[in-house]
Structure 1
Amino acid sequence: MATSPTIPENPGAITASWLQQAFKSGGNPNLPAIQDVALEEIGAGVGLVGRIFRCNLTYRGPEPHGPQSVIVKLSSPHRETVEIARTLRLYQREYAFYTTLAPEIPLRSPQLFYGNFDDASHRFVLLLEDLRSLTTADQIEGASATQARTAVRAVAEMHGRYWNRVDQPPVSGFHSSSTPERHSLVQAVYQSSLPTVLERFGYLFPDSLRRLAEEFGSSMVGYLTAVAAGPMTFTHGDFRLDNMFFGRGSGEFAAVDWQVSGIASGLSDVAYFMSSSVSTAVRRQIERDVLTEYHGIVHASGVHDFTLEECWRSYRQNMLGCFRTPIIAGGQLDFTSDRSRQLADVFLQRTLTAIGDLNAKEFLPTRS
C-alpha cells in the first residue's frame, strides 16, 4: 500500500519526489519517473483563499506518457486567512467535493490525482489536472453572451440532477446553507465587514443601496430563512468567471474552486454569476432568455413543480443575497495588488446595479 505523502507546508516542498509519491498514493503507480519540476504560481492577487501552482514536469526517458503539467493547490500561508477558511470549512469542503462527488456530477471539474486534508491544522493539498488546453476569460472584462449561456446551461444540468434530492449521500454530507447556525454566522461576518467596505468602497454606493446594505445585514437571518424554504440543490457557491474554463468547441465547460460548494438554492449560483461576471449591459440584454433556458433544463431533468415564474422570482430573491460575497470579501481580504482592487471594484459595482435593476429590495423581510 502506498504511503500518503505529507501535506506541503510551502511550495519548496513540491518536489519531483513528492509528486511521484502523490501520484502513486492517488492510484497512478505507473506514471513515468519524474526528473524535475518547475513551479509557477498562478492566480496571485485575485483574492484567493489559498495558493495555486502550475507544476511543469520533466520525465526521465524519451517518450513519457504522463501529464506535461499539473496543478497543486495549497492552503494559505497567512494565519488570518486560514482561520477564515477554518470557520467556513473552505478547505474541508473542497477536499470532500473532489474525493466524493466530483466523479458523478454532470458539470466537469479537474481530475483529482491526489488529495489530503488535516483536520487539526486545517491544511490541505490537492493535485489536480491542468486545464490549460481550455480557455479562460477575464472577470473584469466580463463574460460574453455566449460564455454566459454556456455557464448557466452547465450549472443548470448539475442543479437539475440534485434538485430537492439533497438528503442522500454523498450530497447529504455536504455543508448546508440553510441551518440557523450558518445564518447567524454569515450575518455576524457580514455585519463586521460592512463598515470596512463602506470605508474602502463607499463611492460605489448610492444612498439608497447603502441603506439597503445596512438593512440587509440586520435582517439577514430572516432573509436566509425565507430562501431556505424554497427548493434546495447542490451548488458551486463561487460560480464566477475566474473559476471557469471554456472549450473551443460549442458547450465545452469546466469549473474549478469548489471551496464553498454545498446545499443551497440553485438560483444563488445563477444570480451570483450574472451579477459578478457579466457586464451590466450584457446581463440586461440576455437575463430573461438565460433564465428561461435554465428553467427548461431543470424542468427536463424531472423537476415539474417549479414554474418559470417561480424561477424568475427565486433569481430576484437570490440577487439580494449577492450583497454577501463582495461585502464579506471586501471587508476581510487584503487588496494589495492593483488587479485585486480593480476586481473588487467591478464586482461590487455590478452587484449593486443588479440589485437595483431587479428591485431585489422587495425580498427584504419586513420588521414586525
Structure 2
Amino acid sequence: MTPDPPIPEDGSSITAEWVRRALAAGGGRVAPPSDIRVEEVGVGAGVMGQVMRCHLEYAEADDPAPESIIVKLPSVTARNRRMGKRLALYRREYDFYRSLASQFPVRTPRLLYGDFESRSHRFVLVLEDIRGMGVVDQITGASPAQARQAIRALARMHGTYWNRTHEPVMSGTYDSTNPKMRPVVQIVFLTNLVRTLKYFGDSFTSTTRQHAEDFGLCVIDHMAALGDGPRTFTHGDYRLDNLFFADGDGDDLTVIDWQVSGLSCGLYDVGYFLVGNLTIPVRRRIEREAVEEYHDIVCRAGATDFTFNECWRLYRQNTLAALLTSVIVCGGLDLDDDRSRRLAEIGLKRSLAAMEDLDVEEFISPRNRGLFANACRIAYRANWLLQGAP
C-alpha cells in the first residue's frame, strides 16, 4: 500500500514524485510522471486558497494518464487561513468531494486524491482539470441565456436534495445555518462592515448604509429564518468564476469550488448568483422569469407545498446573501490583487442595488433586543470610532 504523501505547503512542494504518490494513494492506475510544471491559476479568482495547475510529462504514458491536474491548498495568507478554519471552509470542500461528488446531479471535477488534517485544517485536493469549457468573466456578467442555464443547474441540484437533508446520504454535511455559528457570522459581518465602509464607503447611499447596519444587527434572525424554511444542499459560492460552460446550446455545466457548501435554503444560491453575477440591468430584466423557471424545476423534482409566492419571497430575502458575502470579502480578506479588489467592489455595488430594488427592509428589522444585540451594537460603534470609518 502506497503511503499518503505529505500535504504541501505551497506549489514549490509539488514535485513529480509527490504527484506519483498522490495519484497512487488515490487509487489511480496511470504511469508515474517524469516531470512537472506548476502554474498558479487561482490569483484573483479564489482568495481563500491556492489553486495550481500541474502540467505532467511522462516517459511512458498510458492512455488514461492526465496531461494536467488541479491541486488545491489553503491560502498562503494567515488571515485568510484563520477565516478558512473558523468557517470550516476547507473541511466542507474536502467532505463534499469525499462523500457527495461521485453521485452528484451536476457535473463536478473528479477527485483524484485528497487529505485533510482535522486539527490544523491543512488540506490538499488533487482534481481533474476541466478543459474544453468556457468561463464567463464575473465582472462582465452573464448573458440572460447563461444566467438561465446556471439557474437550471441549481434547480436540478436543489431539487435532488429538497427537504431530504435528514437522510443518511447527507449525514455529516455542514449545516450552514447552524445556531452555534450564527453569532460568529453576525460578529464577522459587523466587524468587516466597518472596514468595508472605510474603504468602499462611496458605494453606499445613506439608505443602503442604514440597511446594511440594520442587517448586521439581525444576521442571527436572518440565518434562523433560513434554517426554518425548506432546506437542501447548497453550493454557497455559486458565481461565474466557479462555473464552466460547454459550447453549444445544451445545459452542460461543471461547478467547482465547494468550500462554502452546506445545508441551507436553496434560494440562497439563487439570490447570490443573480445579484452578484449579472449586471444590474440584466438582473432587473430576467430575475423574475429565472426564479419562475427555478420554481418549476424544483417542484417537478419533488418540492411539495411550495408556492411561487413563497419562492419569490425567499428569493428577495436571500438576496441579502450577496451583501453578507460582499461585506466579508471587502472588509475581511486581503485584496492585494487588482482583479480581486475590482470584483469585490462590483459585487458590493450590485448587492446594494438589489437591496433597494427588491425592498428587503421587511427582512432586516432586528427582532432580538437582548444582551447580545445590544453588545453587538456597542462593539460596532466602538470599532467604527477606532477604525476612523466615515
Which residue is equivalent to 1:6? 6
| 1:254 correspondence with 2:257 | no
Task: Answer yes or no: is the 8 Å Cα contact 2:134–2:244 preserved in 1.
Answer: yes
Please name the residue that 2:324 is paired with.
324
Alignment map for 1:210-229 (pairs within 5 Å): 210-229=209-228
Between 332-341 and 109-118, report the one with greater CA deviation: 332-341
The answer on whether the counterparts of 2:79 and 2:333 sit within 8 Å (CA) in structure 1 is no
Counterpart code for 1:236: H
**How many pairs does the alignment contain?**
367
Letter in structure 2 aligned against 1:354: A
1:342 and 1:227 mapped to 2: Cα distance? 30
Contact 2:80 2:334 in 1 (8 A): no
Q: Write the distance in 2 (CA, Å) between the matches of 1:256 and 1:77.
A: 20
1:66 deviates by 0.7
Q: Please say if 1:270 is aligned against 2:270.
A: yes
Tell me, yes or no, if the aligned pair for 1:93 and 1:260 is still in contact at 8 Å.
yes
Q: Alpha carbons of 1:63 and 1:159: their partners in 2 closer, same or farther (altered >3 Å)?
A: closer
CA distance in 2, matches of 1:121, 1:180: 23
Could you tell me how far apart the structure 2 residues matched to 1:135 and 1:322 are? 24
Specify the SS of the correspondent of 2:168. Answer: coil
Code of the aligned partner of 1:273: F
Alignment root-mean-square deviation, CA: 1.3
Partner of 2:202: 203
Q: Give the corresponding residue for 2:116.
A: 117
Structure 1: runs of 5 or more not aligned: none
| Whole-Å separation in 1 of the counterparts to 2:211 and 2:21 | 53
Deviation readout 1:51-99 (Å, 9 max, x if unpaired) = 0000111111266531111100011122222111110011111000000
Partner of residue 76, structure 1: 75
- Cα distance, 1:355 vs. partner? 1.4
Matched, 1:48 2:44: no
Deviation, 1:217, is: 0.6
Residues 27-38 of structure 1 mapped to structure 2, 5 A cutoff? 27-28=27-28, 30-38=29-37
Structure 2: distance between partners of 1:97 and 1:226: 25
Q: Percent identity?
A: 46
CA displacement 1:137-176 (0-9 Å, x = unmatched): 1000001111111111001111001111101233231111
**Aligned equivalents of 1:167, 1:253: Cα separation in 2:** 27
Aligned residue for 1:322, secondary structure, equals helix
The residue identity in structure 1 corresponding to 2:307 is T
Match of 1:186 in 2: 185
Structure 1 counterpart SS, 2:64? coil
- Bigger drift between 61-70 and 284-293 goes to 61-70
The residue type paired with residue 241 of structure 1 is L
With the length of structure 2 as denominator, give the TM-score of the two structures. Answer: 0.91
User: In the alignment, residue 245 of structure 1 is paired with which amino acid?
Assistant: F
* 8 Å CA contact retained: 2:162, 2:232: yes
Query: 1:176-216 CA distances to partner (integer Å, 9 max, x unpaired)?
Result: 12222111110010011111000111000010000000011
Deviations 1:104-140 (A, max 9, x none): 1101110000000011221100000111221101000
Does the CA-based 8 Å contact 2:10-2:50 persist in structure 1? no
CA–CA distance in 1 between the matches of 2:17 and 2:24?
11
- AA paired with 1:51? Q
Distance 1:330 1:132 in 2: 31
How far apart are 1:366 and its partner, in Å? 5.1
Contact 1:326-1:344 within 8 A present in 2 as well: yes
Flag structure 2 segments of 5+ consecutive residues without an equivalent: 370-390
Q: What is the alpha-carbon distance in structure 1 between the residues aligned to residue 125 and residue 278 of structure 2?
A: 29
Deviates more, 1:221-230 or 1:140-149: 221-230
Alpha-carbon distance in structure 1 between the residues aligned to 2:343 and 2:226: 28
One-letter code of the match for 1:48? V
1:360 corresponds in structure 2 to 360
Question: Which residue in 1 is equivalent to 2:239?
Answer: 240
User: What is the DSSP-based 3-state SS (H/G/I as helix, E as strand, rest coil) of the residue aligned with 1:286?
Assistant: helix
Give the corresponding residue for 1:149: 148
CA distance 1:245–1:223, shift in 2 (3 Å): same
Q: Which residue of 2 aligns with 1:164?
A: 163
The whole-number CA distance in structure 2 between the counterparts of 1:69 and 1:346 is 33
1:285 aligns with 2:285: yes
1:35 and 1:323, CA in 2 relative to 1: closer, same or farther beyond 3 A? same
**Mean CA deviation greater in 84-93 or 39-48:** 39-48
TM-score (norm 1): 0.97
In structure 1, the residue matched to 2:378 is: none
SS in 2 for 1:167: coil
Kept in 1: contact 2:40–2:53 (CA 8 A): yes
Counterpart of 2:312, as a letter, is: W
Q: Deviations over 1:17-51 (max 9, x none)?
A: 111111111111x2023111111100203352010
Question: 1:343 corresponds to which residue?
Answer: 343
3-state SS of 2:176 partner: coil
